[in-house]
Amino acid sequence: MSLSLSANTSRGLAWPELIPGKLLKRYKRFLADVKLETGEIVTAHCPNTGSMKGCCEPGRPVYLSMHDNPKRKYKYTWELIAMPASLVGVNTLVPNRLVYKSIVQKRIPELSEYDIIAREVKISAHSRIDLMLTGRNGGHCYVEIKNCTLVTEGIAQFPDAVTSRGLKHITELEKLAEDGHRCMMFYFIQRMDARAFRPADHIDPGYSRGLRRAVKNGIEVLAYDVRIDMQGIELNQNIPYEL
């Protein structure tokens, strides 16, 4: 699946032409029915594997991109939803691409010491990690990026559904940390209305316990929110996390 963002801005990523509509329903995880302003009802691909808890309410304004590739079953892709306090990015392909670009441009101070970036690095027989950064001294930093769209009363939370895969990533980062590598969980908050981040104990207590254990064992946590509008999205600032 190709990323639906068609162009780069100097600091972030630009959306393709966006088509407004109203969300009727999201179903089967990857599908959403949307009523366009013309009155036409279309089925759009939803590029988000999470539950999207708190940001898939029927009746909300949404924005789609359209693709003419004849090989695509669904020509529309759901990109944004307008929530009361912020636009929210739906596309989970955005975080990895934007974090990568921001590291290259030295816009993430916590990761500015690294000059070489490898993506989708195999770390075990059955697992890959999103980024492996290498510094001038040869040291590695392994970064796993998680898309976060759930915000409750100003607190961004992850995950929005039970995730055994997410817990597995934490466990494997712990093993790498034991070998002396720098390891980091990067929570990409794809909206603008969070003042802090914390794990979602009420949704997946096992994941939360695993994250807290990993931090005690040397794993770092970094949470960034974004600036997002109808033109594009860019990384904004490091926000505090609470464990």
**pLDDT at 2 exceeding the cut of 60:** no
| Integer Cα distance of 142 and 204 in angstroms | 24
Q: What is the dihedral of CA 19, 6, 46, 85, to 10 degrees?
A: -60
pLDDT at 117: 96
Comma-separated ranges of CATH 2.40.50.580 domains in the chain: 7-89
Neighbouring residues of 147: CB distance < 8 A, sequence distance ≥ 6:
48, 50, 92, 94, 95, 188, 190
Give the mean pLDDT of 136-150.
Answer: 94
User: Which has more pLDDT, 137 or 58?
Assistant: 58
| Chain centroid to CA 236 | 14
Per-residue pLDDT band for 11 (boundaries 50, 70, 90) equals confident
Name the pLDDT band for 111 (thresholds 50, 70, 90). Answer: very high
Average of per-residue pLDDT across 183-205: 98
- SS3 of 236, please? strand
Residue ranges of the chain assigned to CATH 3.40.1350.60? 94-238
CB 77 within 8 A of CB 213: no
Three-state secondary-structure class, residue 19: strand
pLDDT for the residue numbered 8: 57
Q: Bridge partners of 147?
A: 188
pLDDT band at residue 9 under the 50/70/90 scheme: low
- Predicted model pTM: 0.94
pLDDT top residue among 138 and 58: 58
Q: What average pLDDT does this structure show over 129-151?
A: 95
- Taking residues 82-95, report their average pLDDT: 96
What pLDDT does 235 receive? 97
Q: What does CATH list as the number for 94-238?
A: 3.40.1350.60
Mean pLDDT of the chain: 94
Tokens of 220: 């770092």
- At the second CATH level, the architecture of 7-89 is Beta Barrel (2.40)
| Position 6 pLDDT exceeds 60 | no
Alpha helices in 90-218 (DSSP H): 94-104, 164-178, 205-216
CB 201 within 8 A of CB 243: no
pLDDT more than 70, % of the chain: 96
Q: What is the mean pLDDT of residues 5-26?
A: 85
What is the pLDDT at residue 127? 86
pLDDT confidence tier of residue 155, bands split at 50, 70 and 90:
very high
